[in-house]
Structure 1
């Protein structure tokens, strides 16, 4: 029976490889755009408005002469930062609430379950809009709202899985040998709930990208001085009847990025799930 690492398992999935390649490309673009872009993404030139795609302006220009490619290129920084920070915050909130709801005293577990049920009743986007209207639109508000909102979703999904793993013989043996709750959680439980967690984390990142783009489109997200795919869509949508091709670029960037995070999450779940890996190894051995 041949054993494969999760990386080898991931390479067996073309959709996962393509999604990972797109996300790596985004990260590289975010780093490069912080020091260089073909044109200043905020530089306007009314005499260069609505130029068609060319070698000088790969995606053409918009109604005030901005280079669309440079703006989309620079906006990858916003996307990567929002996805990463919202993912980290959602992970911390989700793991913390799931652990409280599974590994603590009964009254703490019941209180945590009630808190999760209350918080999950409020849509993440609605929370972000409410906070933005009170505190003012900013990326920090979007990251906080999505991180907390989707962290609750992660906690709800992971809680049952953590409780199931916490009742297994090897976890009970670890507790009997004197391993504390933190050690049990880190060494024995989290590795076994990783497949569920990875999928939820990828969804949290995808949701954060959609939330940022949607809120920026509505004027609640990124400020005017921050490049954002959603804000660019807002700027271009009034000209969609005259120049429909201009909205394709930011729209395609949002769609491909959200799809990539979802596909990568599914591929990582399959690659890290020990049950699926064992099933594949058994079928290969039989073959």
Structure 2
């Protein structure tokens, strides 16, 4: 029987090395729904950035002579009760939603992450005070807490950002606290401490970097939730105040004309649905790509 082996002159080659970026890209874009969500988010951000360049009309220009017009060649999505172009207000509303969503997520994550790290790393009475405060905030439903704060502050973009930031903050604090409690028990953390590393270096360089992937997923998911919450507050009249273009207030303004001009409410409502769906899909894709336990799952 002929022996099987490696003939002379032939060498075994190692499989090609796949970088982390290549692995992330393959897993992230492996699902069509995640790719669709990414494209929607990209278009949404582009519209928000270049809104003034592509808007056909001034979204705040009142023209009562053209009030409550249907779709036409001059006004693709018609006009509202004040004669303002619906498409132009829809475009500017994207910028409002993105600003509120980003700012509320950034502020809430900064405060929540800081509180969670401090509570979990130092423990003791510091942990008790911080986490009982977080538990008190979490005892209220997020939307109810945001409504209460927004109503108390009087609405407006800045106040809505504050309201959403406070209501979102406990979730980041809880998530970060759990991550730090797990990571700080690893042997390499004890080794770094024994080498004399400062608490700040340990927290930033070794603990936060390992707890960051779940936070990225949470922030992406909460972006869509923040946009939906802002739209809900604006719909109720305690969010973005007129005449600022906001999708929630546009839905509210159009509900009185659903029979004759349904596009007034349907257009901003569809925009809200698409954007929230897109951010949720992107967050789901990031979860699969960043969590080694979920890689390869659909």
- Could you tell me the TM-score, scaled by structure 2's length? 0.86
How far apart are the structure 1 equivalents of 2:164 and 2:242? 21
Contact (CA 8 Å) 1:195, 1:270: kept in 2 or not?
A: no
- Structure 2 counterpart of 1:176, from 194, 213, 217: 194
* Match status 1:61 vs 2:65: no
- Rounded to whole Å, the distance in 1 between the matches of 2:174 and 2:126 is 15
CA deviation after TM superposition for structure 1 residue 8, in Å: 4.0
Unaligned runs of 5+ in 2: 1-14
Q: Is residue 18 of structure 1 aligned with residue 36 of structure 2? A: yes
Q: Deviations over 1:83-121 (max 9, x none)?
A: 110111121022112102210141111222211111111
Tell whether the 8 Å contact from 2:156 to 2:241 is kept in structure 1 after alignment. Answer: yes
Asked if the contact 1:44/1:66 (under 8 Å) is kept, the reply is yes
* Distance in 1 (alpha carbons) for counterparts of 2:257 and 2:251: 10
Partner Cα distance (2:144, 2:243) in 1: 24
Deviation at 1:223, TM superposition (A): 1.7
User: Are residues 1:136 and 2:154 paired?
Assistant: yes
Say yes or no: does 1:84 pair with 2:90: no
Instruction: Provide Cα deviations, 1:47-93, integer angstroms capped at 9, x if missing partner.
Output: 32333323322212223322111110011110110111011112102
Q: Which moved more, 1:42-51 or 1:89-98?
A: 42-51
Kindly report the root-mean-square deviation, in angstroms, between the aligned alpha carbons of the 2 structures: 2.1
Q: Are the structure 2 counterparts of residues 235 and 52 from structure 1 closer, same or farther at C-alpha, using a change threshold of 3 Å?
A: same
**2:264 aligned residue:** 246
Task: Give the corresponding residue for 2:223.
Answer: 205
In structure 2, the residue matched to 1:187 is 205
Count of residues in correspondence between the two structures:
279
Residue equivalent to 2:255: 237
- Give CA deviations for 1:165-195 in whole Å, capped at 9, x if unaligned: 1111222222222222322222222332233
- Structure 1 residue runs of 4 or more that deviate by more than 6 Å after TM superposition: none
1:35, distance to aligned residue in structure 2 (A): 4.9
User: For each residue in 1:256-276, what CA deviation from the matched residue of structure 2 results, as whole angstroms up to 9, or x when unmatched?
Assistant: 111111111111121122344
Q: Taking structure 1 as the reference length, what is the TM-score of the superposition?
A: 0.89
Name which one, 1 or 2, has greater alpha-carbon Rg: 2
- Judge conservation of contact 1:90–1:201 (CA < 8 Å) in 2: no
Using the TM superposition, give the Cα deviation of residue 200 of structure 1 relative to its aligned residue in structure 2, in angstroms: 1.8
- Structure 1 residues 153 and 223: alpha-carbon distance in aligned structure 2, compared to 1, 3 A threshold: same
Q: Counting helix residues as a fraction of each chain, which structure ranks higher?
A: 1
Contact 1:233/1:251 (8 A) holds in 2: yes
- 1:1-287 matches, cutoff 5 A: 2-5=18-21, 6-35=24-53, 37-277=55-295, 280=296
Tell me, yes or no, if the aligned pair for 2:233 and 2:248 is still in contact at 8 Å. yes
For structure 1, which runs of at least 5 residues remain unmatched after alignment? Answer: none
* Equivalent pair of 1:128/1:141 in contact (CA under 8 Å): no
